[in-house]
A and B are shown apart, each in its own frame.
Chain A
Amino acid sequence: MSEHSTQLPTSGVPQDTEPSMVGKSVVTLDDLTTSQIVDLLHKAQYIETHRHEVAHTCDGRVLATLFYEPSTRTRLSFETAMLRLGGHVIGFAGAQLSSVTKGESIADTVKTVSNLVDVIAMRHPKEGAALVAARAAKDFGIPVINAGDGGHMHPTQTLADLATITSRYGRITGLTIGLCGDLTFGRTVHSLVETLCRFGNVNFVLISPDELKMPRYVIDRIKRAPSCTYTEVRDLAAVIGDLDVLYMTRVQKERFFNEDDYLRLRDTYILDEAKLQRAKPDMAVLHPLPRVNEISVDVDHDPRAAYFEQVHNGMLMRMALESSVVGDTLPGYEEWKNQEVHA
């Protein structure tokens, strides 16, 4: 995250009456108020510039990463976040390594693990699994962070996206944001749009083939945000010059029931240097990763490429979130925040 001066929205619930995040499960970002999201963005900025000060914030804490399906970035990010805060990590990476092979339910696994750890991060292929886990852990006062439940929600990816937009523009409002590719199954774009609508004042450009258009319930969400607008287009090249942010998505094979449909649509939208020449010089290219071929490798060297920064920002946001839900205060943060506000 850069040290870009920020103009994050501060409206909403006053800080001194802000509900606590301690013990709070985060299944979707709707579980957090906009003020809490802004606070997490501030904390991530603080962590970035005060690594030494925060290195023992979560001493003695244990995070469980329950990953029922493959993940590289997300699991390592959750684990690194806790390690960098001084805590420890246990868990499994793959359902075949857990008691699910013996037929154990999600709820029973979570109730068991809740008796061992301080916070749980869970990824599961079934949509809604995180809600099941959060309810199971609630009786034990253990927060569950959704690390992705099928094609449904992935709130910490959205936090990483918001942090990256903030680092590039110093704000998350007053922007034209293009979302390109698989808008039907792409959980990250749904979550990002819905969250940005809560802050308002965003112009969305939805770029996809007809087969992969944004679902109606997300469109409805944009319509309900009076200061947000949207257009739906098929041609990336035609609109790329209008965008402040271009969010590319992977056409995910695992979300299709039919391989022929996947192969037909996979290469529909590819970003390369030629297309990028039409874009604004300060446009930010985001992507939740992993990519297949939707962003050409030659784009990686372009300063507009922000997708590897997202990985870094994701770790910072997870550090902010993990420390917040377990109730550990980042040393020096309150003083820093007060100075920032008054500066």
Chain B
Amino acid sequence: MEVTSIRNGIIIDHVPAGTALKVLQYLRIDPTSTKLALIMNTDSKQYGSKDIIKIEDAGDLNLDVLGFIARQATIDIVRGGKIVRKEKPNLPEHMVNVITCKNPRCVTTTERGIDQMFHLVHSERQEYRCDYCDEEAKL
């Protein structure tokens, strides 16, 4: 499968197969107004299958969230049609307004105007908990 390369932007490779749309959602990328290419469920030597996201003019994306939703992903920074840098996402220590707390008893379900905030409590298990109620984060 061939997709035209991008000039300036990022390629998010090794996205878990079938999750690219969800990754776009968590990166707060609007597919209706962003120049991007999605390759889903393509072959991967390392993982069997994977998704790839190519974004032209990526701007100021908060890629920290990738550490939480797509830990295995790699990020290629493209400038002038060439990959100038490769990055692996880190687990962010703190996430603000990335995911919402699923605990129905959490104050975030009723209080207006407060941020959804989670903190990393266990890096090996990639476990995050709500700043308010300490409920474990779930995608």
Interface residues, chain A, CB within 8 Å of chain B?
A: 105-107, 124-129, 131-132, 149-152, 217, 220
Secondary structure class of chain B's binding surface, majority of residues: loop
Partner of A150, one of B105, B111, B131: B105
A151-B105, A217-B121 known; A126-B111 Cβ under 8 A: yes
Q: Are A128 and B108 in contact (CB under 8 A)?
A: yes
Q: Are B112 and A132 in contact (CB under 8 A)?
A: no
Q: Could you jot down 16 A-B contacts, CB within 8 Å?
A: A107-B113, A107-B114, A126-B110, A127-B105, A127-B132, A127-B134, A127-B135, A128-B106, A129-B107, A129-B111, A131-B132, A132-B111, A132-B114, A132-B132, A149-B107, A150-B133
How many residue pairs, one in A and one in B, have C-beta atoms under 8 Å apart?
Answer: 52
Interface size band for B:
20 to 34
Q: Are A106 and B134 in contact (CB under 8 A)?
A: no
Q: Are A127 and B129 in contact (CB under 8 A)?
A: no
Secondary structure class of chain A's binding surface, majority of residues: mixed
A151 to B107, CA, bound (A): 12
Partner of B106, one of A105, A106, A126: A126
Interface residues, chain B, CB within 8 Å of chain A?
A: 103, 105-114, 121-122, 129-136
A329 to B101, CA, bound (A): 41
Partner of B113, one of A105, A124, A131, A152: A105
A342 to B47, CA, bound (A): 67
Q: Are B131 and A128 in contact (CB under 8 A)?
A: yes
A125-B105, A127-B105, A127-B106 known; A152-B111 Cβ under 8 A: no
A124 to B106, CA, bound (A): 11
A220 to B121, CA, bound (A): 10
Q: Are B121 and A105 in contact (CB under 8 A)?
A: no
Return B92 CB to nearest CB of chain A, in Å: 19
Point out the residues of chain B lying under 8 angstroms from A126, CB to CB: 105-107, 109-111
Q: Are B107 and A128 in contact (CB under 8 A)?
A: yes
- Which 5 pairs, one residue from A and one from B, show the smallest C-beta to C-beta distance? A128-B132, A127-B133, A126-B107, A128-B107, A128-B133
Point out the residues of chain A lying under 8 angstroms from B130, CB to CB: 128
Chain A residue nearest to B110 (CB atoms) is A126
